[in-house]
Amino acid sequence: MSVTETTLKPFKEFAEKNGDYYATTFLKVQQETLSKWHVNKAAALGGFFWASLRANWLLFWIGFFIDLVALVYLGAAYKFKTATGSVLLDVEKFKAAGNEAAAQNKMFLIERYENWTSSSIMSAIIIFILGRIFFGWLADRIYFRQYNAWRVDHTKQSGSKTSRWVMLAVIVALIAPLMLYRSTQFAPDARTCVKQDRAIAKGEEFSFQDKFNCKVISDFPTLFWIDRPDKYDVKRAKDGTRYVERTAPTNKTPINLHTYTSGKIENVVKYLTGFYSYIFDGIVSVLNGLLGAITAIFAGTPWPIMMGALLAIAYYAAGIRITIFVGASLTYLALFGFWLTAMETLSLVASATCVCIVMGLPLGVWVGKSSRGKAIVTPILDIMQTIPSFVYLLPAVAFFGIGVVPGILATVIFAMPPMVRLTSLGIQHVPESTKEAALAFGASPRQLLTKVELPLAMPSIMAGVNQVVMMSLSMVVVAALIGAGGMGFLVTRALANSDTGKGVLAGIGIALLAMMIDRVVQKANNGQS
């Protein structure tokens, strides 16, 4: 197609100033003939000034960032330069006092600061020049997108107006001075600032600059100080009843919000474990019962029978190829002396999976069917999944002590969300029309659930179970930290003794265990559907 004046007209209309240049450039962009090394010289020279003139705020921030970084390096150079000066003064002092050794020590600092000064200046120059060239290279390519947006909606900003420099001035004034000041100062550390806070409370005076440095360019300041709360302890009286003993703090220095709240949390935990221990003991005994039964099956069965049973299950559920893999993995575990430990781990995983299914399935159905259930449960699941697993190890130990049960509970917290999510997903994906048909033939809500929704959601639910098993296995090592034992314990012990060889062997064992279960469960699922 030939290029005529009408082809170029919209480009010029958009660019206004320097229309001819932008018309040819944009045409090249459209024809995909723009040179790889094309740089907009006006943009490269003008930087973010150019971008704000053209109202391209993306380019403005890129350009502003480049210049700011260069400026901060210059500020740092200034900082090191002045530091050199003050060190030199010290050296003079030491020399005058005849302390040659101390002076020599400081000379080393001078050398280091001088190096930093020159390298900062170099960095500033390189960043500025390369940054501006990059900016110029980027400019027309991004500016073209603005043109496309403007084509769709002519109210979008176009052309070039110097009035836009008002906006630029505001932004620069808000950001640049503080950034520049920060780069020229050695920021005080948090400790210095806490000391300063306490000294001010006692009535000492500090210069404005010191206070400013602490409040603005150091860590976020401690806004208020709180008196220490009383300490609570749950004690047992001679007649066996429990009571709360309250002691006033001996240390009177005020504390910050963080310390205050963590103390309160500890008090709550103490109170709950002191007065409601029967609840936690109940949970522990129920889970211990479950675990005992499952362990009796896995670890109590003699190994020849157990191995045969596992192979048979693998064969019927997943076929010969996977059975060979399972056989090889079991042989590895047996030969390297992991058999009983692996069975312990399997018991832990099986118990955790049981709990996850028993709790997760009904919860998932509720979430899938009720919007309120979804609103309540979803954020809790998000929390369960995002909290790092180490975080809830501590409360688990506080409430349930050391051992396998808190390990199972920590595992459940970690592994249950996919069960709930996938169950609810499966329930939600049952077609509305199928449910309607079942209702039209007289299904009651219960029949609808058991005869239509759960069967149709089954593939999704089974995927959830598989996820639960996998995630439980991945928690084995973490749970071992609070005494869950099994293969995870071997890994943590190897870690503690930095015994690489043993760690690797146990790690491979866990991986094989996981792959074994995964393959069998997945194959069984696919075979069904």
Contacts with other proteins by CB under 8 A lie at 431, 433-434, 436-444, 447, 451-452, 455-456, 458
Beta carbon of residue 431, minimum distance to other proteins (angstroms, whole number): 7
Element (H, E) at 333: helix 320-335
Nearer to other proteins, 256 or 447 (CB): 447
Residue (71 or 438) nearer to other proteins, CB: 438
- Identify which of residues 191 and 446 has a Cβ nearer to other proteins in the complex: 446
Closer CB to other proteins, 62 or 430, in the complex:
430
- For the CB of residue 436, give the shortest distance to other proteins in the complex, in Å: 6
Residue 283 vs 449, nearer CB to other proteins: 449
- Residue 314 and residue 500 in contact, taking contact as beta carbons nearer than 8 Å: no
For other proteins, which is the closer residue by CB, 33 or 433? Answer: 433
Give me the least distance between CB of 446 and other proteins, in Å please: 11
Copy the structure tokens of residue 392. Answer: 């809830």
CB 63 to other proteins: min, Å: 48
Nearer of residues 277 and 447 to other proteins, judged by Cβ: 447
Q: Whole-number minimum distance, CB 162 to other proteins, in Å?
A: 47
Minimal distance in Å, beta carbon 455 to other proteins?
Answer: 5
Q: In angstroms, give the least distance from the CB of 459 to other proteins.
A: 10
Please answer whether residues 197 and 215 qualify as being in contact, where contact means their C-beta atoms are separated by less than 8 angstroms. Answer: no
Angle between helices 339-369 and 404-428 (to 10 degrees): 40
> Of 403 and 459, which CB lies nearer to other proteins in the complex structure?
459
**Nearest to other proteins of 142, 438 (CB atom):** 438
Sequence-distant (6+) residues with CB within 8 A of 283 are 400, 405, 409
Shortest gap between Cβ of 421 and other proteins (angstroms)? 22
Closest to other proteins by CB, 313 vs 458, is: 458
Please, what is the minimum distance in Å from the beta carbon of residue 443 to other proteins? 5
> In angstroms, rounded to a whole number, what is the distance separating the alpha carbons of residues 185 and 467?
52
In this structure, is the dihedral angle defined by the CA atoms of residues 278, 282, 283 and 288, taken in order, positive or negative?
Answer: positive
Give residue 355's Cα distance to chain centre.
27
180/439 with CB nearer other proteins? 439
Residues ≥6 apart with Cβ < 8 Å to 208? none
C-alpha span between 368 and 428 (Å, rounded): 5
> Least Å distance between CB 141 and other proteins?
46
- We find the least distance from the C-beta atom of residue 423 to other proteins, in angstroms, to be 17
Please calculate the CA angle 360-363-368 and round it to the nearest 5 degrees: 120
Q: What is the enclosing helix (H) or strand (E) of 222?
A: none
Nearest of 355, 362, 359, 356 to residue 424 by alpha carbon: 362
> Which one, 306 or 452, has the nearer CB to other proteins?
452
Q: H or E stretch including 239?
A: none
Rounded CA separation 479/408 (Å): 7
Nearest-approach distance from CB 457 to other proteins, in angstroms? 11
CA distances from 40 to 46, 81, 165, 245 (A): 10, 36, 20, 76
Three-state DSSP class for 190?
helix
Closest-CA residue to 348 (of 467, 489, 461, 463): 489
CA-to-CA distance for 35 and 47, rounded, in angstroms? 21
- Helix (H) / strand (E) containing 38: none
In DSSP terms, which residues pair with 242 in a beta bridge?
236
Q: Are residues 43 and 160 in contact, defined by beta-carbon separation less than 8 angstroms?
A: no
Which phi and psi angles does 98 have, rounded to 5°?
A: 80, 15
Query: Which residues fall within 8 angstroms of residue 176, CB to CB, at 6 or more apart?
Result: 68, 71
